[in-house]
Amino acid sequence: MSAAIRIEALTKDYAVGFWRKRPYRALDGLSLEIEEGEVFGFLGPNGAGKTTTLKLLMQLTYPTSGRAEILGRPAGDVATRQRIGYLPENPYFYDYLTAEELLQYFGRLFGYGAADRRTRVNALLDLVGIGGERRLQLRKFSKGMLQRVGIAQALLNDPEVIFLDEPMSGLDPLGRREVRKLILGLREQGRTVFFSSHILADAEALCGRVAIMAGGRLAAAGRLSDLLAFQVRGWEMVVAGLTSEALARIGPRVRGATQIAAGRYTLELALEQPPEGLLPDLAACGASLVSVNPLRESLEDFFMQRVAEAGQGARVTGPEKARRLEKT
């Protein structure tokens, strides 16, 4: 399989400051390859460089150094845009157009004839769940509805590669589920989807592979399960019918216990103390198991850890950063 997206040592500096401009590295030497037909999650906390990367891929900004290719053509190639779709972060469109007119406008830019446009526009607005509102001006749309319109316009040209910047943002739980289903549908059709998110659950539900960004640098890349498996740091059990005597008996093997109701406790176990070892004792004292969950580090903890591992922190601003940039 060939690469749908190839990113090589992509770096972006912005000048910050009003009088004395100094460089600020928003993206630092990112290299990635995304295969055709892959759903790729681009994760990281706010300010990690996700949106910067997507803007560089769309050539809304120009790289300081490095290069990027989409479908074998350099990023920014106008002809390639016929084959890609892009949902910007918190999309905003023309106030004075209706949802239908906006998609018609974009459809014209893709060169579709009137009949073809009408079919596509209607089908897509149905797909993203915009019903009678499609004849309303976009100024009347809520954030979530704009997000849906944004997704529709990103899919208007049946793109081979789809870039989605925070596709779930602004959506209610139902909307999130619909978008997940939609992305899975795209995967089944063999499309390449590159989406950014700061929510781990989205990535877990959708992605084969992910890249984790922190402070403008690539912190980790690979299968999400591989990346996070070793991050389990203990177990959390909820048990019912536990008496205080029984709790005292199992106490030494439990790292912490919190009472949530009469006889109902949350027990925290260390990683070396698997929960199944405790089950016979619980049964013996008449307590029952309600739930067991691995205690994982949150994605944010993971980011912070990776940033710390990466050295002095990926992003230094101010004179120190400027000095370092001058050296390179």
Using CB under 8 A as the criterion, which residues of the chain lie in contact with another protein when the complex forms?
A: 14, 55, 58-62, 78-79, 81-82, 84-88, 90-94, 96-97, 101, 105-106, 108-111, 150, 153-154, 163
| 3-class DSSP assignment, residue 36 | coil
Continuous H helices in 92-231: 99-109, 114-127, 143-154, 173-188, 200-206, 224-229
Our CB check for another protein shows the closer of 84 and 278 to be 84
Q: How far is the CB of 17 from another protein (least distance, A)?
A: 14
Our CB check for another protein shows the closer of 44 and 88 to be 88
Our CB check for another protein shows the closer of 164 and 218 to be 164
Radius of gyration of the chain (CA): 24
Strands 3-16 and 22-35: antiparallel
Our CB check for another protein shows the closer of 153 and 242 to be 153
Q: How far is the CB of 8 from another protein (least distance, A)?
A: 20
Our CB check for another protein shows the closer of 108 and 233 to be 108
Our CB check for another protein shows the closer of 14 and 285 to be 14
**217/84 Cα distance (integer angstroms):** 25
Best CA proximity match to 11, nearest among 24, 33, 27:
27
Q: How far is the CB of 317 from another protein (least distance, A)?
A: 16
Our CB check for another protein shows the closer of 1 and 78 to be 78
Q: How far is the CB of 63 from another protein (least distance, A)?
A: 10
**116/286 Cα distance (integer angstroms):** 68
Burial of 11 (0-12, 13-18, 19+ CB in 10 A): middle
Q: Which amino acid is at 139?
A: R
Q: How far is the CB of 136 from another protein (least distance, A)?
A: 13
**29/16 Cα distance (integer angstroms):** 19
Q: How far is the CB of 183 from another protein (least distance, A)?
A: 18
**121/135 Cα distance (integer angstroms):** 12
**216/46 Cα distance (integer angstroms):** 10
Q: How far is the CB of 296 from another protein (least distance, A)?
A: 35
